[in-house]
Amino acid sequence: NAGVMQNPRHLVRRRGQEARLRCSPMKGHSHVYWYRQLPEEGLKFMVYLQKENIIDESGMPKERFSAEFPKEGPSILRIQQVVRGDSAAYFCASSRQGMNTEAFFGQGTRLTVV
Amino acid sequence: AQSVTQLGSHVSVSEGALVLLRCNYSSSVPPYLFWYVQYPNQGLQLLLKYTSAATLVKGINGFEAEFKKSETSFHLTKPSAHMSDAAEYFCAVSRAGNEKLTFGTGTRLTIIP
């Protein structure tokens, strides 16, 4: 049973470009969470999705950031017009019934904006 | 609102010595509490969690944590440190019934040979 798969592992974008981060949850998991880890900081919650629904996006920046989890395929975190401050590690976690049950994290995507 | 404070961003212990990583929480409702470990360039792995059952929780790799409501603490311990324990450790809290985790800023554990 493969774990949570995130790709790419490393992503370099120039300022103003778009970044697309993908997350394939574990088999049988229908809950997906995105977290951002800035250098020397803990993880900050961004968004919680279930299939075709955004449940909680209270941690998402109001502009340039969006997320989806379609009926088929991986969850996508999209960042438009990236800026240097978006450079961070972005982690996806998945679970069967929410973070209070066993949640598994992917290895993260490290975004560098140059 | 919930929050977690991890005292000591860096902790060094000798191999074989006791590991103690401190975590204090703030929550307006009975909390769920977690400890995660992160190895360099890796994702987070769950060490253990408290979900209102036994106050002493045993996890993987010989770690355990005790929930103390009176002290609002959930400190992580291991009797004897091993070189492989060197990593970053995060304490996290969530509300029962709520879904997202609020993480502390992490403690980097270094093991001295």
| CA–CA gap between residue B64 and residue B61 (Å, rounded) | 9
Reference A75, options A10, A3, A4, A16; nearest CA is A4
A102 touches chain B (CB under 8 A): yes
Task: State the average pLDDT over residues B55-82.
Answer: 95
Residues 38-67, chain A: which have Cβ within 8 Å of B?
Answer: 40-45, 48, 55-56, 58-59
For A41, the closest of B43, B102, B105 (CB atoms) is B105
Collapsing DSSP to helix, strand or coil, B35 comes out as strand
The per-residue pLDDT for A101 is 67
Query: What radius of gyration do chain A's Cα atoms show?
Result: 13
* Cross-chain Cβ contact B90/A42 below 8 Å: yes
Q: What is the mean pLDDT of residues A8-36?
A: 95
Q: β-strands A109-113, A88-95: how paired?
A: antiparallel
User: Are A42 and B44 within 8 A, CB to CB?
Assistant: no
Pair of tokens at residue A94? 């998945």
Interval A25-81: pLDDT, tens: 999 888 999 999 988 788 999 999 999 999 999 999 999 999 999 999 999 999 999
Chain A residues close to B101, C-beta within 8 Å: 33, 35, 43, 45, 99
Residue B27 predicted with pLDDT over 90: no
A55 φψ region: left (φ > 0), alpha (ψ -120 to 50), beta (else): alpha
Q: How far is residue A50's CA from residue A95's CA, in Å, rounded to a whole number?
A: 10
- Confidence tier at B31 by pLDDT (50, 70, 90): confident
Q: In the predicted model, what is the mean pLDDT of residues B97-106? A: 81
A–B CB contacts, 8 A cutoff, strictly below = 59
